[in-house]
Amino acid sequence: MSFSYVSHLYCPKCDNTYSVEEKNQLCECGSPLLVAYNMQELKANLKPKNLLERKADLWRYHELLPIQNIENVVTLGEGLTPLLHMKNTGQDMNIPNLYMKDEGLIPSGSFKSRGAAVGVSKAKELGVKELAMPTNGNAGAAWSLYCAQAGVTSTIVMPVDAPEITRKECTAAGASLYLVNGLIGDAGKIVAQAVKDYDLFDASTLKEPYRIEGKKTMGLEIAEQFGWEVPDVILYPTGGGVGLIGIYKALQELQELGWIKDKMPRLVAVQAEGCAPIVKAWKEGKLSAEPWQDAETVAFGINVAKALGDFLILDAIKQTNGCAIAVSDETLLEELNKVASAEGAFVCPEGAAAFAAARKLRESDWIKQDDRVVVLNTGAGIKYPNTVEVDAPILQPEDKIVRDYVR
C-alpha cells in the first residue's frame, strides 16, 4: 500500500494543474492551489478498518496526505484530539447533542500544529531551506517549532499585539521574529517583500498548498469519531478560514471514498463583530469579501481583514446550506466564562465565539433541538491569559478564609 496517493495540484478557479514534486505557491491566475489524490486507486486499497491499528495522530490518514516519503514526516504527535460531549453547556443552550472538538490539547496548544506538521513536512520533502510567513501568533509559533525539528530556517512576522506567549514560542524555536505595528495584512506585505528580496519560500495562509491538508484532518477525525457519520452542524471560528475549507474538503473526499453518506453538515463561519468580512459578504450574497476596515477583536486569531480564500469559505458555506454569523467581544468573553465554569474547559476566545454563535443560532431556531452540533475550540485558553480578569483577595499568613454563603 502506498504511503500517499497524492496526484497533483489544481486551481479551483481556472483548472490549471501543477506537480506536487515541485515548489508551487499560487496559481498563475492568483488563486490558491488545492491537492488532488488518486481517489479510485485509494478507494480500492484503503478501508476504515485499516485505521484501527494505527497511531492516534493525524498521520493515520497518510494516504490522504501529500507526503510521498515517510522519511520526510515531521511530527510532534499532533492529531486525534478529543471530541467531548458538552452536556452541561448543551443543557443550558437547549442543544442536548452539543460536542466540542478540543484543539487546545494539540502540540503548541492550537490547531495550527496540524497545518504546520503537514506544511513543514512537504516543505522538507521539496527541499525548502528557508521559509517566511505572517501570522496572528499561533501559526507562527507552530511553524517555528516544526521548522526547528525539520532543520528549516523560519522568518516570522506578527502584529505587536499578538499574544505574548506565541512570540516566546517563536523565539525559543530559533525563528527570526519580527513585530509590526499593524494587522496581519501589514505583516503579509513585509513577508511578501522579504520573499522577493531573499528568495524565501512563502508559507503565508493558502500561498502554499499543503497547510490546508493538515487542517482537513479535523474533518477526517470528526467523521471517524462519530463512527463514519457526520454531525448536523459544525461551527468554526473563521479568520483565514483554512480549517473550514479543509473540513469541507475532507468530507468531500470521504464521500468520494464511500466512507460517509451523501449528507453534509451545515458549516458555520463564526467571526467577531469587530472583524466580520465573511459575514458581511454572506449577508450580501457575494462570492468574495471586501477588506474589513479598522479590524479589531479580542479573538485575535480571527482578526483577519481579508482572507485569500474567501471565495472558498463562502462556497463551502453555500454548498452545505450553512451560514456566517458574528458575535461581539463582550458576548464571546461571557461565553468563555460560562463554558469554563460549566464544563471545566478553558477555551480560547475564538472557540468561545463559536460557542456563543451556537447559542445565538439555537435561540433563532436555525439550530434545532435534536441537531448534533460540533463546536471547534481551536486553541488552549491558557495561551490568552488576558481574556480573564482575576479579582481575588490577598491573605496574610495569619488570616482565615471567610466565606459568604447565599441561601
CATH number assigned to the domain comprising residue 247: 3.40.50.1100
Residues of the chain with pLDDT under 50: 407
Q: For residue 335, tell me if it sits in a domain.
A: yes
Q: For residue 289, tell me if it sits in a domain.
A: yes
How far, in Å, are 15, 183, 238, 281, 368 from residue 275 at the CA level?
A: 31, 12, 10, 12, 27
SS3 299: coil
Q: For residue 28, tell me if it sits in a domain.
A: no
Domain that holds residue 328: 83-109+212-385
**CA-closest candidate to residue 82, choices 98, 65, 99, 97:** 99
Q: Please list the residues that pair with 327 across neighbouring strands.
A: 272
Q: For residue 49, tell me if it sits in a domain.
A: no
**CA-closest candidate to residue 111, choices 221, 201, 267, 268:** 221
pLDDT of residue 385: 87
pLDDT in tens, 269-292: 999 999 999 999 999 999 999 999
**DSSP characters for 25-68?**
-S-TTSPPPEEEE-HHHHHHH--GGGGTTS-SSGGGGGGGSS--
103 within 8 A of 110, measured Cβ to Cβ:
yes
pLDDT of residue 404: 66
Q: Rounded distance, CA 341 to CA 120, Å?
A: 37
116 within 8 A of 142, measured Cβ to Cβ:
yes
pLDDT of residue 407: 46
Q: For residue 298, tell me if it sits in a domain.
A: yes
- In this structure, what C-alpha cell is assigned to residue 374? 460540533
Q: For residue 21, tell me if it sits in a domain.
A: no
Q: Rounded distance, CA 185 to CA 365, Å?
A: 36
316 within 8 A of 248, measured Cβ to Cβ:
yes
Q: For residue 124, tell me if it sits in a domain.
A: no
Residue 358 burial (C-beta neighbours within 10 Å; 0-12, 13-18, 19+)? buried
Number of domains in the chain: 1
pLDDT of residue 2: 86
SS3 75: coil
DSSP symbol at 110: B
Q: For residue 182, tell me if it sits in a domain.
A: no
Helices (H), 240-307: 242-257, 277-283
- In this structure, what C-alpha cell is assigned to residue 368? 434545532
